[in-house]
Amino acid sequence: METPASRTAPLTGALKPIRVLLVEDHFLARMALHSVLSKHAPIQIVGEAPDGESGIEKYRQLLPDVVVLDLRLPQMSGFEVISRLREQYRARIVVLSNYQGSEDIYRAVQAGAMAYLTKDASGEQVIQAVQTVHRGTRYLPQMALHRLAERMPGVALTPRETQVLTCVTRGFSNREIAEELGIAEKTVRIHVSAVLEKLGARDRTQATIYALQRGLVHLDHA
């Protein structure tokens, strides 16, 4: 079973390569991404797709560790691709887009993307995003966090509620949060309920979106 510790374990040369699927309709952009990522161990490009439908089919065939995805795709939008891959496979997805408006970032994160970068990001940032998402942690640079924060004002949480919320944004279950913080699982449920109420969120996914929008959590790379 995956644990909080295993989610954040550093990558070493002894580990298997991170298997990446590229979903991008522009040939030159795919080639550039392939060149940047494939030169960096332990990343391995296992497949490419020029549109959403073939991207989903390639994922089904290859079951990669991480998907690097453009939002503007033929046949179906990147948002729909994210939703379907998350619903069917719980895929870990890095968005790489020309768009940096708050609505695009919000919709991508809400659909289930774990990272959002614009196409002017450096190769080092893209590599870091792939590695971070592979570990099960979100990767949102300051630009994305600022755009999300523009949508809503802040909210006051206790220090313990903030710790619990941070774990929630990383996808931890109540049991994993209890292990991480050294508290009872029943206590975690109480804190999660309080956080949802304070944020006005109907579930953990919406709480995660609100937390990122309002800058309530501090990610490793921020």
Numbered ranges of CATH 1.10.10.10 in the chain? 159-214
Numbered ranges of CATH 3.40.50.2300 in the chain? 4-149
pLDDT value, residue 222: 38
Q: How far apart are CA 21 and CA 161, in angstroms?
A: 36
Q: How far apart are CA 165 and CA 82, in angstroms?
A: 23
Q: How far apart are CA 176 and CA 168, in angstroms?
A: 10
Q: How far apart are CA 156 and CA 145, in angstroms?
A: 18
pLDDT value, residue 151: 62
Query: Which residues of the chain fall short of a pLDDT of 70?
Result: 1-14, 150-155, 215, 218-222
**CATH no. for 4-149:** 3.40.50.2300
Reported as half-sphere exposure (CB side, CA atoms, 13 A), residue 145 has a value of: 16
Percent of the chain at pLDDT > 90 equals: 58
Q: How far apart are CA 198 and CA 162, in angstroms?
A: 11
pLDDT value, residue 148: 74
Mean pLDDT of the chain: 86
Given phi > 0 = left and psi -120 to 50 = alpha, else beta, which region is 142?
alpha
**CATH no. for 159-214:** 1.10.10.10
pLDDT value, residue 2: 43
